[in-house]
Amino acid sequence: MAFKGFIVKDKNDLLRKSKEIHIPIHNTVSISLMAQMFIDTRFFQRLSELKQLATCSYIFSGATHTRFEHSIGTYYLADKLVSKLRLSTGEEVLDLWTSELIKIAGLCHDIGHGPFSHIFDDVFIKNSPYKEHIMATHEFRSVIIVSKIIEESEVLTKYMCKKDIEFIQSLINPSKDNTGFVYQIVSNNVNGLDVDKYDYINRDAYHIGIKSGFDHMKLIDSAIVIDNNIVYSEQSQINIYNLFQTRYAFHKQVYQHKGVVSASHMIVDIMSQLDEPLGITTSILDIEKFVLMTDNYIIQSMKQSKLPKLIQLNKRLQTHNMYPHIITVVGKSLDNIKEILQEYYDKCIVSVSKMGFVSGDKKDPFENIYVYRTKDYFKYGSFTKVKIIDKSEFIIPEVYQQKVIMVFTEYDDIVDNVRGIFKKIE
């Protein structure tokens, strides 16, 4: 069998280096023949039409990088971390084939993202009749697309068994039971330290022009496996702290900048207007239709539309006239927001999010991170695993997340009145 001039006689041929890809941050990335078979598909190439930071480029002009280069970067860092971990596990645990499957998981972890990435899942689909559907998350769609790519490749179908495919899928979308060290490489549900985060933090910093205090290669170089967990050197504690601090800073300054959030809700309105003619919501039920949905497709469809609402939204985006921001409230629930806004409630957009060191419902980000003491090796001939961070050594907040409520409106004529309501209750 052959692929683009490469003869494939057995599965080990898939591990051969096939080409080099040049991307910012990591410069030259060597990819295997197997990786090229995933990259050279319509599913993966589509990632070049999905901006990594969705609407951030409307405010931060450099934030035009895509999920394509982030996915290549995650593949690269997965290779670096796996190679380092193999020194402590041995090849009988992390052989070259298993290592490549982990790297492929890194390569494909975002392949199921919809147009404008997290806006699609977290706002658009979340407010649709399909919000509870299994296909409502990009992680599960990524799992389905991985299977689709393999099915369409004669070579991959021949040499990748069901167990290989399920392993890749479990790395992309791990269950709560998947807690061993291999599941802490690409998408780490145990403590959030994974190559996906390492790449996007540094890539976003590079393109936005904000310096990061986090050194991903230094952290990777210190990683070993103890008791089926990835453990880092005691000297890495400040670097790990910097990672979480940088994540919080990016959310506060960039990802949840009021202009970015305003533009996000404008994009949601655009997709809502286009939903009936394009079938955006129902595309999650049909992968062939879903892969047509990109940032470019949505924007071009808006520009070609004759609908008055879309003409207005297009003009607002082109003139950088975002929905006016009324107020941001941090750390309060505002359960009575409907009563507060009174007759203006239906004309306002209330955006509720969490911002902090961690995402979702996670508590202490340092709870499940372990370090080893380098001096133990010289004293005992082996490393011992200890809980991370003597909190007396760091300025660590008692609360790791903030609830953030932002209020916007598309109606310019009510802005002053609504701001006046909030001033009265301050």
For residue range 315-328, list pLDDT tens digits in order.
Answer: 999 999 999 999 99
Give the domains, in start order, of the chain with CATH numbers: 2-323 (1.10.3210.10)
Q: What is the pLDDT of residues 339-353, one digit of tens each?
A: 999 899 999 999 999
Lowest-confidence range among 68-77, 102-111, 116-125, 384-393?
Answer: 384-393
C-alpha span between 370 and 379 (Å, rounded): 19
Catalytic residue among 65, 113, 138, 251: 138
User: What pLDDT does 334 receive?
Assistant: 78
User: What pLDDT does 372 receive?
Assistant: 86
Q: What is the pLDDT of residues 126-180, one digit of tens each?
A: 999 999 999 999 999 999 999 999 999 999 999 999 999 999 999 999 998 888 9
Confidence of residue 308 (pLDDT cuts 50, 70, 90): very high
251 in active site: no
Q: Which residue has the higher pLDDT, 144 or 377?
A: 144
What is the model's pTM?
0.94
State the average pLDDT for the chain. Answer: 92
For residue 88, which of 229, 234, 194 has the smallest C-alpha distance?
229
Does the CA dihedral 105-360-348-338 come out positive or negative?
positive
Q: Read off the tokens for 159.
A: 């040499």
Confidence of residue 395 (pLDDT cuts 50, 70, 90): low
C-alpha span between 137 and 124 (Å, rounded): 12
The proportion of the chain whose per-residue pLDDT surpasses 70, expressed as a percent, equals 92
By the 8 A CB rule, do 99 and 82 touch? Answer: yes
